[in-house]
Amino acid sequence: MTKTVKNQALPQDETTGLVTPVVRGLRLLGFIAAGGNTTNLSEAARQIDVNRITLTRLLVTLEHEGMIEAMPGGGHQVSWKFLTLAAAGLFHHDLMGAARRVLAHLSNTLGLSAYLTVLDGDDVVYVLREMPPAGLISHITLGSRVPADQVAPGRALLQAASNRAEPLVQAPCFWSHSGFESGINACAVAVLRPDGRGAPAALSVAGPEAVFKSTAGFPEAVEVALKRAAQDLGLVAAAQGGSLS
């Protein structure tokens, strides 16, 4: 199956400091790593938004640097050197540090408070938190313990725990509309284990109810951002073979 890389147009302003060939090379590397086929140069060039000549030069450069290798049947794949570099990076990547970075990105992008929670018996415990500049008046603080069925991240974790027999492909989002705290909405998604059975943690965001109603499509954008963040954090956890709790 042909992979499509969604690219942003490269800024023309030289003051951005971007090195255009490097950006294009990274796009190509991501395309190949995702299973993109370079056998048809014209199609591959279209996928990463470059011309055929540029694509050929990028392929030669990446192959020379040992990041990709040509396959006998045509096309390219990422090299063993690339895989070992990625593995080395993951080995030194602290899971809780990764979770903090994910939460900071969610909070900054959405302007909401972001949390990492884990199940402890029938309760959910809030173990990490990132706050937006405006803050949030809430009873939920670091270390807060709440009955799992009363909050969105708790329900997300309970649902994931109940699906051990039938693995989940993607965890659904759970919402709380002024449920646990009046005037505060929250959305949560479980960080699934690699096999889709159970989840070591959940990500959630929360903010004033008015914020979710002020912009059309904002709740949908929240769900997309949360699912992507949970998937990314799940991949790091799987590579580390560790727990987020």
Q: Which token pair is 66?
A: 């040992």
d(CA 6, CA 4): 6
Q: What is the pLDDT of residues 187-241, one digit of tens each?
A: 999 998 776 667 889 999 999 999 999 888 999 999 999 999 998 888 877 766 6
> What residues contact residue 193 under an 8 Å CB cut-off, 6+ apart?
199, 200, 234, 238
What domains appear along the chain, each with residue ranges and CATH number?
A: 14-91 (1.10.10.10), 95-240 (3.30.450.40)
Q: What is the pLDDT of residues 138-164, one digit of tens each?
A: 878 888 889 999 999 999 999 988 876
Residue with tokens 């008046």: 137
Q: Distance from first CA to last CA of the chain, Å, rounded? A: 37
Q: What is the pLDDT of residues 94-110, one digit of tens each?
A: 667 888 889 999 999 99
Q: What is the pLDDT of residues 156-194, one digit of tens each?
A: 999 988 876 566 677 899 999 988 889 999 999 999 877
Quick one: pLDDT at residue 80? 87
